Amino acid sequence: MTLAQSEPRVDTFEGSITLRDVTMEFTTRDRASIRAVDTTSLTIPSGQFVSVLGPSGCGKSTLLRMIAGLMPPTSGSVSIGGEPVSGPSRKVGIAFQTPSLLEWYTVAENIALPARMGRRPADKRSVERRVEELLATVKLASLGGKYPSELSGGMRQRVAIARSLITDPAVILMDEPFGALDAITREHMHDELLSIWRESGATVLFITHDIAEAVYLSDRIVVMSPRPGRIVADIANELPRPRSSATRALPEFTRLASELRVHINH
Amino acid sequence: MTEVLQPAATTAPRRLPAPSRSTARTSTFVLRRILTVLAYILVALLLWQVFISVFDVDPLLVPGPIPVLQALGTQLTSPVIWSAAWVTFQEAIFGFGIGATVGMVIAIALAESRTLYRLVNPYIVAFQAIPKVALTPLFIVWFGFGIWSKVVLIATFTFFPVMVNMYQGLRSTTSEEEELMRVSHATRWQRFRHLRLYRSLPYLFAAFEASFVLCLTGAVLAELLGSGTSVGLGTLVQMYTSTYNMAGLFGIITLLSLFGVVFDLIVKGTARVVLRWNRSSGH
Ligand SMILES: Nc1ncnc2c1ncn2[C@@H]1O[C@H](COP(=O)(O)OP(=O)(O)O)[C@@H](O)[C@H]1O
Ligand SMILES: [Mg+2]
């Protein structure tokens, strides 16, 4: 595996995501069956920033796990870049709800981890170079030798984002990554995420239950209904880019937010 | 038993930050502990003397600290007590080493294989239900009157807490951590080596702390119940009791308690070094 410097992926197919009639059913301990995601279809072109919005428990994380290849759907199919997903792939980077850093490793070692695992890990030198670049990208340059316990919550989540980028994925999946951060840190992180996305050219699937967050970040917002999870709205977000604090003051921002609120409350 | 160790330390596989500083901190920690222990000993001796004087206790039942310290002084200059201490020490160390090793190996095997866990777990629970002391005569028949019957008994004491704790520690990873290893294409060995093993260390050291002192108890108990060829501290306890040498008896007890404190200190000090990363994330 080579870790080329990230170049914007223009006009490629690599990062497209397709869900076709995907259903996921869980069997609980008392043999009851829960339908977490119900016959859902979705096509995301390469390079798009899509938010999935919905109340908690509606199947958002389940959807993300199926796209990540962490669990196969009960029925239907998932493909990335036109290829069916049959398990976790290095083309996909994930940032979880909690940073999930390994406290016993330094920041740099945590970021390098996904590239250093497996039977054929990437070359150590090139990984180290890429880690340095990513540390600069997430504004943590010179903190590579620190341990996670020495960082603030926002810094830890940045490390987690840098880690999701180490394999130069064509698709980045994010599961409410900023949910635990305070409002001010969160707004900083939004701007950083957008600049990372612009530079990498990757497709981003961003899960959230925060309407303003979805509006600020995305090209497109998909709204899911409470269980069984289904797509009830698929809305293009035409707000101009680059976005900044001025964006939040636009009347269009408020209009879109209230439209989404209506969809969420039926 | 399942409680995670308190503030301990970071394990950095490679690059340790400022190793000199952390080593200094650990040695201050050990020094402070030693001074604290000495202070406690002084207070205990004082209270002991006060108790003897106030209640005018028969020295045949409880001797005062001064005759005990004198007896201890005489004992410490005779080779008998040193060879007895060496025997007891060996039993405790070998017993602990064997019990802990077997416990760790089985914990890893059970944590890595659900099938094995389901097959073996009932036997382990049944084994744990046996009062181990009742096995002493059996072990003496099997392994003789030397140190090995005691070593085996102590190993059975240590095995269970180490196994249970380490198993719990190995399985204490979050689902996101496990998923991180999966999306990173980690092999089974890598998942163990980079994630589960580290997660289990605080639990493992908590078990060590609990069982190390238990090892001394086990050694003395086993010697009381049947020592023939090997003369340990427990054997001396028995001898002194039968000759009403109360000062000698209390001397041995004092020595044993010192042993226990030193063992405890060794385990806690090691935990601080090995678990350095756990210091600020723990409670
Ligand atoms: N592994 C699982 N086993 C059983 N039920 C699950 C599992 N994962 C999720 N669920 C159930 O599926 C539903 C959707 O969960 P999830 O996708 O986590 O929702 P969200 O991320 O939107 O909060 C919930 O009712 C949850 O209890
Ligand atoms: Mg979720």
Q: A57 C-alpha vs ligand 1 centroid, how far in Å?
A: 6
Euclidean distance between CA atoms A105 and A121, whole angstroms: 18
Q: A92 C-alpha vs ligand 1 centroid, how far in Å?
A: 21
- For residues B181 and B44, the model is more confident at B181
Instruction: Kindly state the average pLDDT of the residues A185-205.
Output: 92
Whether pLDDT at A170 is above 70? yes
Give the tens place of pLDDT for each residue, A254-265.
Answer: 999 999 999 988
B194 chain-A contacts, CB cut-off 8 A: 102, 105, 113, 117
- Reported as a pLDDT band with limits 50, 70 and 90, residue A209 is very high
Interface contact B181, partner A, CB < 8 A: yes
Whether residue B87 contacts residue B230, with contact meaning beta carbons closer than 8 Å, is answered with yes
Q: What percent of chain B has pLDDT over 70?
A: 89
Give the tens place of pLDDT for each residue, B13-40.
Answer: 333 344 445 566 777 888 888 888 889 8
Spatial neighbors of A111 by CB under 8 A, at least 6 apart, are: A131, A134, A135, A144, A159, A162, A163, A166
Whether pLDDT at A249 is above 90? yes
- Reported as a pLDDT band with limits 50, 70 and 90, residue B5 is very low
DSSP class of B193 = I
Query: Domains in chain B, start-ordered, CATH in brackets?
Result: 64-274 (1.10.3720.10)
Q: How high is the pLDDT of residue A173?
A: 97
Q: How high is the pLDDT of residue B9?
A: 35
Whether pLDDT at A140 is above 60? yes
Q: How high is the pLDDT of residue A96?
A: 94
Q: Whose CA is nearest to atom 25 of ligand 1?
A: A57
Spatial neighbors of A244 by CB under 8 A, at least 6 apart, are: A191
SS percent in chain B: helix, strand, coil, step 5: 80, 0, 20
Euclidean distance between CA atoms B51 and B54, whole angstroms: 5
Q: How high is the pLDDT of residue B205?
A: 93
Q: How close, in Å, is residue A246 to chain B by CA atoms?
A: 36
Buried b (16+ CB within 10 A) or exposed e, A24-48: beeeeeeeeeebbbbebebebebbb
Whether residue A137 contacts residue A165, with contact meaning beta carbons closer than 8 Å, is answered with yes
Query: Domains in chain A, start-ordered, CATH in brackets?
Result: 13-91+171-187+203-266 (3.40.50.300), 99-168 (no CATH)
Whether pLDDT at A122 is above 90? no
Atom number in ligand 1 closest to CA A224? 22
Q: 10 Å Cβ neighbour count for B145?
A: 14
Whether pLDDT at B201 is above 60? yes
Q: 10 Å Cβ neighbour count for A107?
A: 26
Euclidean distance between CA atoms B113 and A191, whole angstroms: 45
- Give this complex's ipTM: 0.88
Instruction: Kindly state the average pLDDT of the residues A154-182.
Output: 93
Alpha-carbon distance values, A230 to A264, B21, B92 (Å): 12, 56, 63
Instruction: Kindly state the average pLDDT of the residues B61-72.
Output: 82
Spatial neighbors of A175 by CB under 8 A, at least 6 apart, are: A60, A61, A64, A94, A95, A96, A97, A207
Starting from the CA of residue A63, give the closest ligand: 1
Whether pLDDT at A191 is above 90? yes
Q: Which of A159-173, A228-242, B73-87, B188-202 has the lowest mean pLDDT?
A: B73-87
Q: How high is the pLDDT of residue A227?
A: 80
- Reported as a pLDDT band with limits 50, 70 and 90, residue B192 is very high
Whether pLDDT at B69 is above 90? no
Whether pLDDT at A63 is above 50? yes
- For residues B139 and A46, the model is more confident at A46
pTM above 0.90, yes or no: no
- Reported as a pLDDT band with limits 50, 70 and 90, residue B179 is very high
Give the tens place of pLDDT for each residue, B95-131.
Answer: 999 999 999 999 999 999 999 999 998 888 888 888 8
Q: How high is the pLDDT of residue A157?
A: 92
Sort strands A92-95 and A171-175 into parallel, antiparallel or unpaired.
Answer: parallel
Interface contact B180, partner A, CB < 8 A: yes
Q: How high is the pLDDT of residue B23?
A: 62
Whether pLDDT at A179 is above 80? yes
Bin A174: left if φ > 0, else alpha if -120 < ψ < 50, else beta: beta
End-to-end CA distance of chain A: 47
Whether pLDDT at B2 is above 90? no
- Reported as a pLDDT band with limits 50, 70 and 90, residue B227 is low
Question: Residue B220: exposed, middle, or buried by beta-carbon count in 10 A (0-12, 13-18, 19+)?
Answer: buried
Nearest beta carbon to residue B15 from set A94, A98, A145:
A145
Nearest beta carbon to residue B198 from set A102, A117, A149:
A102
The residue among A233, A219, A222 whose CA lies nearest residue A266 is A233
Cα A31–Cα A35–Cα A39 angle in degrees, nearest 5: 145
Whether pLDDT at A4 is above 80? no
